[in-house]
Structure 1
Amino acid sequence: MSIENLSNRRLIVTTRQVKAARALLGWSQGDLAEGSAVSEPTIARLEAEDGPLGGRPETGAKIIRALVDAGIEFISENGGGLGVRLVNHLGGK
C-alpha cells in the first residue's frame, strides 16, 4: 500500500507485518524506535501480541510511517494474504 493510500483508507497492519518489515530493513526494535519516535519498550510490548498492531492509533501511525518512509509497502489481504515488501530501500534509519 503506497503512502498516499495511508490517509485514504483504514490500513490494518499486524504485528507480524511490522516484524517482517523490520527484518527486510535489517532493523532492530531500537532502530524502529529511533525512526518512529516511539519508545523501544512500547514497540517490544506491541510486537509481543499477535494480531492487529495495538496501542494508541497515533503510536501505530508513527510506526507505520517510519517503515513506509524507509521503503516498506504494506500489502493488504488480497486473497494471497497480508504481507510487506521492500520497494525503495533508502539505506538509513
Structure 2
Amino acid sequence: MTPEQCREARRLLGWTYQRAGVRSDVSSLTVRHFERGVRRTRQTNVAAIRAALEAAGVEFIPENGGGGVRLRERAA
C-alpha cells in the first residue's frame, strides 16, 4: 500500500486520521506521517492500517507503476 492509496482509501470510507488509527490500533499520528511521508513507517503498522481498510471494504488494485483503490462491491 502506498501513502496515496491509504489517503484515497480513507477518503472513500469517510475516515479521519483518528478513525483509521483506532480501527488499525496505531496512532492517528502514525497514519498522518505515513500518508505525508514525514518519516519511515514500520511495516507492521502499514500492514495494520491496510488490514483495517480492507476489513472496512476497501480493495487495493495493483497496476503497472502504481495502483488504486475501490470499495468492494456489496452483494445484492
Under a length normalisation based on structure 2, what TM-score does the superposition of the two structures give? 0.85
The whole-number CA distance in structure 1 between the counterparts of 2:21 and 2:73 is: 20
Cα RMSD for the two superposed structures? 1.8
The answer to whether structure 1 residue 64 and structure 2 residue 59 are counterparts is no
1:31 to 19, 36, 43: 19
- Residue pair 1:73, 1:85 contacting (<8 A) in 2 also: yes
Structure 1, unmatched stretches of 5+, are 1-12
Aligned residues: 73
Q: Which runs of 4+ in 1 moved over 6 A?
A: none
The answer to whether structure 1 residue 83 and structure 2 residue 73 are counterparts is no
Higher strand share: 2
In the TM superposition, residue 78 of structure 1 has moved relative to its aligned partner by 4.0
The whole-number CA distance in structure 2 between the counterparts of 1:18 and 1:77 is: 15
The whole-number CA distance in structure 2 between the counterparts of 1:87 and 1:78 is: 21
The whole-number CA distance in structure 1 between the counterparts of 2:9 and 2:73 is: 12
- Deviation string, structure 1 residues 15-66 (Cα, Å, up to 9, x no partner): 010000000000000110010001011111111118xxx4111111100000
The whole-number CA distance in structure 2 between the counterparts of 1:49 and 1:56 is: 12
The whole-number CA distance in structure 1 between the counterparts of 2:42 and 2:31 is: 12
The match for 1:49 is 37
* Percent identical residues: 42
